[in-house]
Amino acid sequence: MDHDASIRVAAFQRVRELEARFGGAIPWNAIQTGFDFRGENVLLANRARGIFRPRQMSRGVLSVKTTVPRVGRERRYDDIASEDGFFEYRFMGDDPKHSDNRGLREAFEDRSPLIYFHGVAPSVYQAISPVFVTEWDAKALSAKIIPGEVERGEIILPESQDVRRYAVVEAKRRLHQAVFRELVLDAYAGHCAISGLPERRLLHAAHILPDRDRRGQPVVSNGIAMSVIHHTAYDLNLLGIDSDGRIHINRDLLEIHNGPLTKALQDTAGKKIASPPARDHQPNRDFLAERFEVFLKAA
């Protein structure tokens, strides 16, 4: 394995570690620290540039990045996920010969894998890796990027168009879920609505109406911040929330006497969930009522 390829493998491993540490989406302050490689610090990305190659690499790029700007700031890149099975990534500026854009071309020529940091909130990124540059278009000032696969420890580019479409659909689904989670957790100030737990890494954004329902859109009013165990209980209809935000516990769970964790769930019965202060972020009462009917039938 050559030097650049070794750096890529170490970078992919670092990204997996960060995903496990933060439960999915990764904050920029963790990305920017980089990682240790043979006694040197190698950066994963650059705050100011969307296309990045660390100084330790000689060809291609290590990562590309799409940001979500803070309020009042302009989005520098307008990258899209196509229904044809690829992400379209815009060049840096309008000069195809710019060094960043040449790096993308080298990645295309070498079929080398890289990391796509896709913004899901200001300074928060969902990592899609590995990905490959499959087209480099000087006239359109853009490149096509496709998620890769890992088979038997090897990183490969899917050849089947159907597999490529599926990979992009799955990547888009993860991005939408990551965006939804960040929005909901921010609305609840990073606290579980049931227990008050303030640890984001242990919190989910629970859908009130499931995303398979056409009305179950990933908007804050269709979500509630819950700890992992409360979300699981909610999805299994062991815990229900009525239209007033009052918590109900399934009789099966109430009859279990098995330690403090079970009791902590049982003790939420009759209490009200905490709601966001913003009116348009508060749970949709009609959705709560409909979902509560499902809980009652299951009980």
CATH number at residue 141: 2.30.280
Average of per-residue pLDDT across 170-184: 88
Residue 264: domain span: 190-298
Examine the domain organization and report whether 49 and 131 are in the same domain. Answer: yes
Examine the domain organization and report whether 158 and 222 are in the same domain. Answer: no
Q: How many domains does the chain have?
A: 2
Average of per-residue pLDDT across 122-134: 93
CA distance 5 to 104: 16
Q: Is the pLDDT confidence value at 211 over 90?
A: no
Burial class (CB in 10 A: 0-12, 13-18, 19+), 70: exposed
Which of 135, 156, 182 lies at the terminal end of a domain, its last residue?
Answer: 182
Examine the domain organization and report whether 175 and 207 are in the same domain. Answer: no
Examine the domain organization and report whether 278 and 133 are in the same domain. Answer: no
Examine the domain organization and report whether 172 and 206 are in the same domain. Answer: no
Examine the domain organization and report whether 172 and 27 are in the same domain. Answer: yes
Contact of 264 with 253, CB cutoff 8 Å: no
Which of 165, 182, 199 lies at the terminal end of a domain, its last residue?
Answer: 182
Whole-model pTM?
A: 0.81
Examine the domain organization and report whether 178 and 200 are in the same domain. Answer: no
Examine the domain organization and report whether 121 and 224 are in the same domain. Answer: no
Question: 53-110 pLDDT, tens per residue?
Answer: 999 999 999 999 998 876 544 444 444 555 566 888 999 999 999 999 999 999 999 9
Q: Is the pLDDT confidence value at 258 over 70?
A: yes
The overall average pLDDT reported for the chain is 89
